[in-house]
């Protein structure tokens, strides 16, 4: 139990259910004297809002964040920063029909097995809505890492089996998919439309790049930075795989291909993805996460109810067709939180 906190020095604790009164997060361990306003956080939350692309649900989630503590006259004070987002668009009655039914692909059955009680409304704690709290905390983490020159960019690398063939970062914000390849983006949009018509959903791959990260971050042997990144990203409900650098392809390379030769100007290649022996080497950190298709689909599915009786289920409503691109700021947030924590951990050593 008590798995709702992450981080060692920069500690993030999220709370809240999809259809409870509110969701929120407490960030403890943020250094003092960092300028921070609600608008800084709201900006990141807005990037997570549905409606940026056709892959998203038309629900209106205003997600207005409120800073309840930890700042004074526009700066952090070193005390815990408490953020709250009231839940507004709540129609719990919409979920009455799944009160006793386990939705395939969701945590309904496992929460019930674990706790012998569950808030079935909108997935309760297991809802994707919880990630809004992560994005809010990530906005603060970004403030911490940006001061050291660290920048994070993430985008859609693959969607519905269509892969970006080229990475033009400037193009990311020029399409609804947040894909760095305009041509692929067009095909992805069609794929989404198609899945929508079928009452089905699709998955995809997000790539996250970290630039400007100083060497030396990461704590061997268990808290290696790639280990902490893998955990942070795998803790996002939709993620089923995490790769660093060459990732799975590294398993198909020879040592002479995979090793990044070192030159006086830096590493000749970057199969390591910026991490050697769990410590950043100063090169770009490259991570890819595989996101499964959204589990809530209109297509009829076989399942059981809480009494073990067979049932069929068709989930109507305004669900997203794909977690991408909405999951992108969540990935960025988790990476920011890990980096902020490790930056501070390394700070402790250097005194």
Site for a copy of itself, residues 237 to 256, rule: CB under 8 A: 237, 240-256
CB atoms inside a 10 Å sphere around CB 64: 12
Closest distance of CB 21 from a copy of itself, Å: 5
**Between residue 24 and residue 53, which ones bind a copy of itself under the rule CB under 8 A?**
24, 26, 28-29, 31-33
Site string for a copy of itself, 90-109 (x = CB under 8 A): ------------x-xxxx-x
Closest distance of CB 120 from a copy of itself, Å: 9
User: How do 65-67 and 301-304 pair as beta strands?
Assistant: unpaired
| H/E segment holding residue 10 | none
**Between residue 189 and residue 228, which ones bind a copy of itself under the rule CB under 8 A?**
195, 198, 200-205, 215-224, 226-228
Closest distance of CB 168 from a copy of itself, Å: 22
**Between residue 126 and residue 155, which ones bind a copy of itself under the rule CB under 8 A?**
126, 130
- Report residue 169: phi and psi, to 5°: -60, -35
Using CB under 8 A as the binding rule, whether residue 64 contacts a copy of itself is answered as no
Q: Are 202 and 192 in contact (CB under 8 A)?
A: yes
Site string for a copy of itself, 253-292 (x = CB under 8 A): xxxxxxxxxxxx---x--xxx-xxxxxxxx-------xxx
Q: Are 242 and 205 in contact (CB under 8 A)?
A: no
Peptide bond into 221 cis (omega under 30): yes
Helix (H, G, I), strand (E, B) or coil at 185: helix
Beta bridge partners of 86: 22
Taking the C-alpha atoms of residue 286 and residue 283, their distance in angstroms, rounded to an integer, is 9
Site string for a copy of itself, 302-321 (x = CB under 8 A): xxx---xxx-----------
Closest distance of CB 209 from a copy of itself, Å: 16
Find the helix packing angle between 38-48 and 328-349, rounded to 10°.
140
Closest distance of CB 47 from a copy of itself, Å: 20
How many residues form the binding site for a copy of itself (CB under 8 A)?
155
């Amino acid at each position: 139990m008590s798995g709702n906190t992450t981080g060692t020095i920069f500690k993030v604790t999220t709370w809240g259910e999809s259809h409870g009164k509110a969701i929120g997060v407490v960030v403890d361990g943020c250094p003092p004297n960092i300028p921070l306003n609600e608008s800084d956080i709201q900006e990141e939350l807005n990037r997570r809002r549905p409606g940026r692309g056709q892959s998203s649900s038309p629900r209106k989630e205003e997600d207005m964040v409120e800073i309840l503590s930890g700042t004074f006259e526009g700066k952090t004070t070193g005390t815990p920063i408490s953020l709250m987002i009231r839940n507004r668009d709540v129609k719990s009655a919409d979920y009455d029909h799944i009160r006793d039914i386990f939705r395939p692909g969701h945590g309904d059955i496992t929460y019930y097995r674990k706790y012998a009680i569950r808030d079935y409304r909108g997935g309760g704690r297991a809802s994707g809505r919880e990630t809004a709290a992560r994005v809010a905390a990530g906005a603060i983490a970004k403030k911490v890492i940006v001061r050291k020159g660290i920048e994070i960019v993430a985008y859609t690398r693959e969607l519905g089996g269509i892969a970006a063939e080229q990475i033009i970062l400037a193009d990311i914000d020029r399409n609804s998919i947040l894909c760095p390849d305009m041509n692929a983006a067009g095909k992805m949009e069609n794929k989404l439309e198609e899945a929508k018509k079928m009452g089905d959903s699709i998955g995809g791959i997000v790539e996250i790049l970290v630039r400007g990260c100083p060497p030396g971050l990461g704590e061997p042997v268990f808290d290696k930075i790639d280990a902490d990144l893998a955990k942070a990203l795998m803790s996002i409900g939709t993620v089923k795989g995490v790769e660093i650098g060459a990732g799975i392809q590294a398993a198909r390379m020879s040592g002479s291909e995979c090793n990044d030769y070192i030159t006086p100007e830096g590493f000749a290649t970057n199969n390591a993805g910026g991490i050697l022996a769990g410590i950043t080497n100063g090169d770009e950190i490259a991570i890819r996460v595989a996101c499964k298709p959204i589990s809530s689909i209109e297509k009829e599915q076989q399942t059981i109810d809480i009494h073990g009786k067979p049932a069929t289920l068709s989930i109507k409503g305004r669900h997203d067709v794909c977690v991408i691109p909405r999951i992108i700021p969540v990935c960025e947030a988790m990476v920011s939180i890990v980096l902020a924590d490790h930056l501070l951990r390394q700070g402790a050593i250097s005194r």
